């Protein structure tokens, strides 16, 4: 029989959203953060570019809002964009207060960089490892707090809900302890999912292995609506090298003057957009994809050799080092790059406090859909959204009424009827299979036929894995596979419903944007059966 824990606030995920929210909540609230690997195994720690915010006198909120709206192709929620962008400078100040030192010029003014589709230099950064430094500072602060406990190697399985006054209310979660290989339940007054995006469901990705859409999958299974899942952002430039997987070549290299070339040595971006290499991400990624497919190239090249060698080494030390480790000297040679899945613009429907369709359940960061990114996220707007939503969510919880020392007894996890699998290869095989299906059939360019093929193939995988889930003891890989299956299905269903091309969703069957589809794709949540009344809920 499983054990049970209890806390005031349960935060699932240890990236910028989870850690900032924990720090912003008052000291008299007991917080438990669970993370499925180590604290730093999150997309935040991999973010290179920086945080977009209005930080120079020549820039303005209106211009940042206008760039965000234009880039989101008609689907950005203007009120949310205004709220997030106008809170940006305060969030940057907060990061400085906790010890983040952004790059500055000789006059001690922030040195702001440029990225695609921004009309101004407005990206605050720490060389090319902004996310790692921010995460390190947040982690240092979190570790000093007595009211914050951390359980690493612990993975959420599902949420537990009940009906209160006719409303669904979240009361806890089942957690798989990877280290001890057992399951426990946690009851909490508030649960915050901050588990990041789902880019790992694609064969090529810029994300860490933890990006398996766990928060989106568990919230959807608990009954939350998910929105705009078809808008998966492919970053145009991931390093293409057999020895290094999932390494981003930051957009700021193009911001500082980097140019794209075909393997035959021709520039091509001006054929697709007058902004060339600094067009929005959807356009650059699609142009590269087109050139690669048309000419059967394995990759294209990014060239920054025109920049002074000292500048490159100082401004992009991590990228320089990483490429040099495989004998590519970026001060003298072009960098082989391909597009790779990078960011989930859709997610769990939330309001400005991160509230969802289920009482006491909040979702923030990349797992959430707030309406800020629309059909295409503007570069470096995501860390900004995470910070502002952490602030909004923690304020809502602080101002509200936390029920302390509540002790809801949750149904124990009953796995007395399952056995150990003798066919573990099924998990790894289907993991690989699913990632290839998503890359080949649900990638940068889509068609009705390909989406249908992907849907059918994933149905079969789902059937096999469902049986496995109900019959055998669980593992980390099995839980993640279950989540990526559900998230893939949501992406495909959303892509099928959007019969047009807009932003990050491009269909060869509907190559034009259509007014009829200037609306969000909303998919209803599935209701899982982990309600209090059930005991043998896995059958
Ligand atoms: C990059 O450095 O290119 C990534 C920035 C982002 O995705 O916002």
Q: Of 427, 500, 524, 532, which is closest to residue 469 (Cα–Cα)?
A: 427
Report, as an integer, the average pLDDT of 140-156: 98
Closest among 539, 473, 411, 479 to 4, alpha carbons compared = 411
Domain match, 107 and 254 both = no
Residue 50 Cα to ligand 1 midpoint, Å, equals: 7
State residue 1's pLDDT score: 55
CA Rg value for the chain: 22
Cα gap 491→473, rounded to integer Å: 28
- Band (pLDDT 50/70/90 cuts) for residue 534 is very low
Residue where a domain stops, chosen among 399, 419, 436? 399
Provide the domain limits for residue 194: 3-230+345-399
8 Å CB contact between 138 and 171: no
Q: Output the pLDDT for position 532.
A: 42
456 C-alpha to ligand 1 centroid (Å) = 33
Query: Which pLDDT score is estimated for 539?
Result: 34
Residues 317 and 354 reside in one and the same domain: no
User: Which run of H or of E encompasses 287?
Assistant: helix 281-295
Q: Which of 355, 372, 399 is the last residue of a domain?
A: 399
DSSP-derived pairing of the beta strands 148-151 and 31-34 = parallel
Q: How many CB atoms lie within 10 A of CB 126?
A: 19
**pLDDT value at 243 more than 60:** yes
Do 361 and 319 have their domain in common? no
- Determine whether the shortest distance from the Cβ of 185 to ligand 1 is under 6 A: no
Based on the domain organization, do 164 and 251 belong to the same domain? no
Do 356 and 295 lie in one domain? The reply is no
Q: Does the residue 511 lie in any domain?
A: no
Q: Which CATH number goes with the domain that contains 156?
A: 3.50.50.60
In a domain, 524, yes or no: no
Say yes or no: 223 and 237 in one domain: no
pLDDT, tens digit, for every residue of 97-127? 999 999 999 999 999 999 999 999 999 999 9
pLDDT of residue 407: 66
The whole-angstrom separation of Cα 445 and Cα 516 is 21
Whether 104 maps to a domain, the answer reads yes
Same domain, residue pair 298 and 378: no
Q: In the predicted model, what is the mean pLDDT of residues 271-286?
A: 96
Q: Are residues 287 and 394 in the same domain?
A: no
Using alpha carbons, select from 213, 107, 147 the residue that is nearest to residue 438. Answer: 213
Q: How far is the CA of 107 from the centre of ligand 1 (A)?
A: 26
pLDDT at residue 477, rounded to an integer: 96
What's residue 220's pLDDT?
A: 97
- Rounded-to-integer distance, Cα 320 and Cα 313, Å: 6
Once rounded to an integer, what is the mean pLDDT over residues 81-87? 98
Residue 379 Cβ contacting ligand 1 at under 6 Å: yes
pLDDT tens-digit readout, 419-444: 888 888 999 999 999 999 999 999 99
How many domains would you assign to the chain? Answer: 2
Which of 15, 88, 115 to mutate for ligand 1's pocket (most ligand atoms within 8 Å of CB)? 115
Task: Please report the pLDDT score of residue 318 as a whole number.
Answer: 96
Residue with the bigger pLDDT between 476 and 529: it is 476
Confidence of residue 163 (pLDDT cuts 50, 70, 90): confident
| Local confidence band at 89 (pLDDT 50, 70, 90 cut-offs) | very high
Mean pLDDT score of the chain, rounded to an integer?
94
Identify the CATH number of the domain in which residue 294 sits. 3.90.700.10
Tens of pLDDT, residue by residue over 493-504, are 999 999 999 999
Cα 526 to ligand 1 centroid, rounded to whole Å: 33
Whether 71 is in a domain gets the answer yes
* pLDDT for res 130: 97
Q: Is the pLDDT of residue 530 over 90?
A: no
Mutate which of 129, 248, 366 for ligand 1? The one with the most ligand atoms within 8 Å of its CB, which is 248
Please say if the pLDDT value at position 136 is more than 70.
yes
Identify the H or E element spanning 181. Answer: none
Residue 273 in any domain: the answer is: yes
Residue 490 domain flag = no
Q: What is the pLDDT of residue 403?
A: 73
For the Cβ of 356 lying below 6 angstroms from any atom of ligand 1, the answer is no
Overall pTM surpassing 0.75 (yes/no): yes
Residues 6+ apart with CB under 8 A from 404: 8, 29, 30, 189
Residues 207 and 301 in one domain: no
Instruction: Mark which of 399, 422, 439 sits at the end of a domain.
Output: 399
Q: Is 361's C-beta closer than 6 angstroms to any atom of ligand 1?
A: no
Whether 130 is in the pocket of ligand 1, judged by its Cβ within 6 Å, is: no
In terms of phi and psi (left: phi > 0; alpha: psi -120 to 50; beta: otherwise), the region of 266 is: beta
Residue 405 has pLDDT above 60, yes or no: no
Q: Is the pLDDT of residue 406 over 70?
A: no
Instruction: Examine the domain organization and report whether 332 and 349 are in the same domain.
Output: no
* DSSP letter string, 336-381: EEEEEEEEE--EEE--TT-B-SSBTEEE-GGGEE-SSSTTSPPTT-
Please name the residue that has the structure tokens 């890989």: 477
Is residue 138 a part of any domain in this protein? yes
State whether 282 and 270 are in the same domain.
Answer: yes
Identify the residue whose C-alpha is closest to ligand 1 atom 4.
49
Please tell me whether residues 160 and 76 are part of one structural domain.
yes
Tell me, yes or no, whether 181 lies in a domain.
Answer: yes
């Amino acid at each position: 029989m499983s054990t049970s824990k209890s806390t005031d606030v349960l935060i699932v995920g240890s990236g910028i959203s989870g850690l900032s929210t924990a720090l912003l909540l008052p000291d008299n609230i007991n917080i438990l953060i669970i993370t499925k690997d180590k604290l730093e195994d999150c997309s935040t720690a991999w973010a290179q570019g920086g945080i977009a915010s209005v930080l120079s006198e020549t820039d303005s909120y209106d211009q940042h809002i206008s760039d965000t709206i234009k880039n989101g192709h008609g689907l950005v929620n203007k009120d949310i964009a205004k709220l997030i962008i106008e809170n940006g400078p305060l969030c940057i100040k907060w990061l400085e207060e906790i010890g983040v030192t952004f790059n500055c010029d000789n006059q001690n003014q922030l040195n702001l960089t440029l990225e695609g589709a921004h009309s101004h230099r407005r990206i605050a950064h720490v060389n090319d490892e902004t996310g790692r430094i921010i995460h390190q500072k947040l982690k240092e602060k979190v570790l000093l707090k007595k009211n914050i406990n951390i359980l690493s190697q612990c993975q959420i399985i599902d949420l537990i809900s009940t009906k209160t006054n006719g409303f669904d209310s979240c009361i806890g979660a089942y957690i798989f302890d990877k280290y001890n290989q057992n399951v426990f339940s946690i009851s909490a007054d508030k649960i915050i999912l901050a588990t990041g995006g789902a880019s790992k469901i694609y064969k090529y990705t810029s994300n860490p292995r933890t990006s398996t859409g766990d928060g989106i999958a568990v919230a959807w299974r608990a009954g939350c609506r998910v929105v705009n899942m078809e808008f998966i952002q492919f970053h145009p430039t991931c390093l293409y090298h057999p020895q290094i997987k999932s390494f981003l070549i930051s957009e700021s290299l193009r911001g500082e003057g980097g140019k794209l070339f075909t393997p035959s040595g021709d520039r091509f971006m001006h054929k697709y957009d007058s902004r060339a290499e600094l067009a929005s991400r959807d356009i650059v990624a699609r142009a590269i994809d087109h050139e690669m497919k048309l000419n059967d190239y394995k990759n294209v090249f990014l060239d920054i050799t025109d920049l002074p060698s000292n500048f490159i080494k100082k401004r992009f030390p991590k990228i320089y080092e990483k490429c040099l480790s495989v004998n590519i000297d970026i001060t003298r040679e072009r960098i082989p790059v391909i597009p790779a899945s990078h960011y989930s613009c859709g997610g769990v429907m939330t309001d400005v406090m991160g509230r969802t369709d289920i009482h006491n359940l909040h979702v923030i960061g990349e797992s959430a859909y707030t309406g800020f990114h629309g059909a295409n996220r503007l570069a470096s707007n995501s860390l900004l959204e995470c910070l502002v939503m952490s602030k909004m969510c923690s304020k809502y919880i602080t101002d509200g009424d936390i029920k302390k020392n509540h002790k809801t007894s949750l149904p124990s996890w009953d796995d007395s009827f399952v056995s150990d699998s003798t066919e573990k290869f099924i998990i790894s095989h289907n993991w690989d299979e699913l990632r290839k299906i998503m890359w080949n059939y649900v990638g940068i360019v889509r068609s009705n036929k390909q989406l249908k093929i992907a849907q059918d193939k994933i149905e079969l995988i789902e059937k096999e894995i469902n049986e496995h889930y109900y019959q055998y003891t669980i593992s980390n890989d099995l839980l993640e596979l279950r989540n990526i299956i559900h998230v893939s299905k949501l992406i495909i269903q959303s892509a099928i419903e959007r019969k047009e091309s807009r932003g990050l969703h491009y269909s060869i069957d509907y190559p034009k944007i259509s007014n009829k589809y200037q609306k969000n794709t909303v998919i209803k949540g599935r209701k899982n059966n982990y309600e209090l009344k059930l005991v043998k809920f896995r059958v």
